[in-house]
Structure 1
């Protein structure tokens, strides 16, 4: 069984400017590529797990998301980092419109995306790590059986709730390899 670092996207990989869906608005967090290279050297798979309620709210389409994700994936590959999986939730049970207004099992804090990745990639969750910028990321990690849930300060304002849910709190993803 493999071990993985699960990464939230907005606020962890890139700065969260709100509903980021275009290349021009995508700004990487400093040190993200170096951190991911370090995770690979430490034997981890890298899996992105991201809530994308902007799709559910009609702010952008799944095609927009896929185009940006493909560009991001190429950026990582260009830096020598192969992402092992990218999972996203396009739903929102309250603010979604049309087919996206559903109660799903993939929207964090539910663990659906992480569990799907674990099954497909044969990941041992007890040896894995979740890195996120809010309490729901920490809760999703815990619900999926992840014991090390790391909160970064580069995303949303860090809440007491998020700190309470986290195993470790660091300034950014750049600091994560040194605590693993």
Structure 2
């Protein structure tokens, strides 16, 4: 179901680890939260424009017993202390073998976030750092932008042709101004 770029953008949703904050695998320690470059500036700009912001994150460490829901919540609270409040959070606690409808690349969390914001997924964009982030955006009908990191595989970047930005600022420019 692709995205309909004719609808106005009303929300920008972000992957958490590797996109908004440095990826610390199975992080349950708020002291280890470190924002990615440009994250604070980008979020200030989006909020100033009146766009909703949200975080969509797979947290399989919960179902695997590596993290508690409270640890994930305390990390998320620290992210809001550093980057400001988000309008919506969607966390999937399931492991891949659970075959849930929320874990990315499934579209469930993006659809749920849009429903909570009172918008269509076509009015949202989702920014992430791996291929499953873009697959989830596409499956939901939202616009997707890939901001690669060292964790991003070459084939994921190649598959995202036309939807790749070098950093969060470039991703926002792409969404607000259209392709160069």
Shorter-chain TM-score: what band?
0.7 to 0.9
2:144 is aligned with 1:149: yes
Question: 1:167, CA displacement in angstroms?
Answer: 4.3
Which of residues 10, 15, 20 is equivalent to 1:13? 20
Specify every segment of 5 or more residues in structure 2 that has no aligned partner in the other structure, as ranges. 1-7, 176-180
Question: 1:91, CA displacement in angstroms?
Answer: 0.2
1:112-160 CA distances to partner (integer Å, 9 max, x unpaired)?
Answer: 11111111211232232110011110010011111x2110023623331
The runs of at least 4 consecutive aligned structure 1 residues that moved more than 3 Å come to none
1:84-110 CA distances to partner (integer Å, 9 max, x unpaired)?
Answer: 00110000143xxxxxxx321110000
Partner residue of 1:98? none
1:47-86 CA distances to partner (integer Å, 9 max, x unpaired)?
Answer: 1000001112211111110111112122223xxxx31001
The alignment partner of 1:5 has SS state of: strand
Matched ranges for 1:26-175 at <5 A: 26-77=33-84, 82-94=85-97, 102-146=98-142, 148-154=143-149, 156-165=151-160, 167-175=162-170
2:10 is aligned with 1:3: yes
Partner residue of 2:3? none
Contact 2:12–2:125 (CA under 8 A) maintained in structure 1 = yes
TM-score calculated relative to the size of structure 1: 0.85
Q: Distance in 2 between matches of 1:156 and 1:179?
A: 22
Specify every segment of 5 or more residues in structure 1 that has no aligned partner in the other structure, as ranges. 95-101
Partner residue of 2:5? none
Q: Distance in 2 between matches of 1:130 and 1:163?
A: 18
Q: Distance in 2 between matches of 1:93 and 1:129?
A: 24
